[in-house]
A = this chain, B = another copy of it.
Amino acid sequence: MANVRQLVSDHSLMERLARGSEPNFSSTSPGEYRYHVGDLRRYLSDEAFTWYKAMVEVGIVKAFADRGMFPQSFAQEVGHAAGLVSSKEVAQEEERTRHDIIALVNMLREKVGDDVKPVIHRAATSYDTIDTANAVRFRDAFNDVIIPDVTKLLREWIGIVRLESDTLQIGRTHLQHGEPITFGFSMAWFVDRLGNGMLEMARASDMLVGKFSGAVGAYNASSLFVSDPMKFEKEVLAQVGAVPADISTQIVQPERIGNLAHFTLSNFGILANWAHDMRNLMRPEIGEVWLPRGRDVSRSSTMPHKANPIGFENIQSLWKEATGRMVTMYMDQVSENGRDLTNSASQRYTPELFDMFDYAVRRATGIAHNLRANHDNMRRNFEMGRDVITAEPLQLLLAGLGRHTAHEEVGRLADRAVAERRSVVELAVEDAELSKYMKKLTEAQRNVLAEPERYTGEATRKAHEIADKWEEKLDQLVAR
């Protein structure tokens, strides 16, 4: 990305962002006054969009200059202008021109000499600029901020996996008590899912493409100036660190950004699952995890004794807001006869989606850092089912010894065990029929039945295996 980025200062942009960085509470948009990541405004705000679009315009001029069609100084002059142009002046000019890119081009032209004016936006159509700028800024946002943020969250989670790899917890299905696992194992489940999702998200962001193929995608305009417009397209895009689509119309293929949105939402769903699970483990009756009061746990306005898990709830709530937006992506795939503009306004909301996601990632990271397992409560909850948890290994072992009716028989014993508050294993030993099989058990098997806390299978080993896998992958990612 070296070439053009050196020509375009972001000093003026950073100043405007700093000035405007205070939330505007007169806004209707929660993304403005409440849920956003400051670091992403460099990529996702309207000011940033203006900057990236101006940079693409510089890239076009530079590519022509590199072909010797006019002096390199032209590119430098446009580069300087691009560093200064603001969203506000473009918006004002758009009031007059009724066209955002014409307005941008005019504001650039205003800032350069008369000889340079006509070379700006040469052979380009609006969406050469817009689609390329979006590809570059979104990829930058993911590479510079979002992916690193996800890796931070993964490292926090991996920390819990390691710390709690051996912590006994009852495994649940249907919200009922199943068989024992460890808390580290249950956290590893989220690590692996989000790790996989992050790699897919990074791949999708790397696959974003730009274009310099003109108004209908057939290089009509650029073929007036160069004899090899497809090659020239590559040169233009290389200026800003992008690659072209294999074929485009006025716009690039909508599927690429749709894929990135999908993986973002899919990863959002994993955060939501985690937040949902953890705040359920914080129910007073369960109490398996704990968070300190503060940013993510607040009192009630009327009930001062409460500890409300508002951080978890916030993550899940933003996910709910985001989820339906995939529909917009699918609808935007149908652009009539080459392209209509009905994806224009909707597309402007895409940055908000990435912003919301990253906000949730950061919030999750802060929470994960403070999250504590309550080993006593985990043990207490495990003990609730001690008498019957062994029903599974019991029926398996009996079946293993050839008792094919074991499942139904042990089911009946389990009901009795609950009713009589006795152990299902004891009842099996007392049972006339089953006792014959019980005698054939090995000592190791007896031990599992006697101490169901031993019945965690490979939970600890698997937890570490997953932690190892992702520590290695995250290290590779950094080294990249």
Contact = CB atoms under 8 A, between A and B. Distances in A.
A466 B304 contact: no
Contacts of A224: 393, 396-397, 400, 445, 448
Contacts of A221: 179, 302, 392-393, 396, 457
Q: Which of A105, A280, A337 has most chain B Cβ within 10 Å?
A: A337
A335 B308 CA distance: 14
Interface in A146-192: 171-182, 185-186, 188-189, 192
B270 A220 contact: no
Given A41-B28, A331-B331, A334-B269, A223 B392 contact: no
A31 interface: yes
B24 A180 contact: no
B406 A118 contact: yes
Given A305-B424, A346-B318, A29 B26 contact: no
24 contacts: A16-B26, A25-B45, A31-B32, A119-B399, A125-B300, A125-B303, A171-B217, A174-B279, A175-B282, A176-B307, A179-B220, A180-B216, A215-B302, A221-B302, A221-B457, A225-B396, A230-B461, A266-B330, A273-B335, A276-B336, A305-B385, A305-B391, A324-B325, A326-B330
Interface stretch (A3-11, A71-79, A365-373, A407-415): A407-415
B310 A216 contact: no
Q: Which of A124, A335, A410, A458 has most chain B Cβ within 10 Å?
A: A458
A67 interface: no
Interface string A342-368: 111111110110010000000000000
A31 B23 contact: no
B99 A218 contact: no
Interface string A223-259: 1110001100000000000000011111001110011
A47 B459 CA distance: 35
B222 A300 contact: no
A438 to B, nearest CB: 15
Given A174-B308, A303-B178, A335-B273, A23 B121 contact: no
Contact of A26 (B21, B28, B347, B418): B21
Nearest to A278: B337
A62 interface: no
Contacts of A174: 279, 306, 308-310, 313, 339-341
Contacts of A250: 173, 178
A12 interface: no
A272 to B, nearest CB: 5
A285 interface: yes
A193 interface: yes
Contacts of A196: 253, 255
Contact of A217 (B181, B355, B399): B181
B181 A284 contact: no
A320 interface: yes
A384 interface: yes
Interface in A423-480: 424, 445, 448, 455-459, 461-462, 466, 469
Contact of A266 (B246, B248, B258, B307): B258
A2 interface: no
A41 B20 contact: no
A41 B17 contact: no
A302 B124 contact: yes
B102 A407 contact: yes
Contact of A175 (B88, B91, B249, B337): B337
Given A175-B282, A304-B407, A321-B345, 15 more contacts: A20-B26, A98-B295, A98-B298, A123-B302, A125-B303, A174-B339, A175-B340, A176-B282, A178-B303, A218-B459, A223-B457, A272-B333, A284-B384, A313-B342, A323-B327
A374 interface: no
A327 B323 CA distance: 7
Given A285-B381, A411-B305, A456-B220, A200 B272 contact: no
Contacts of A420: none
A215 B171 contact: yes
A107 interface: no
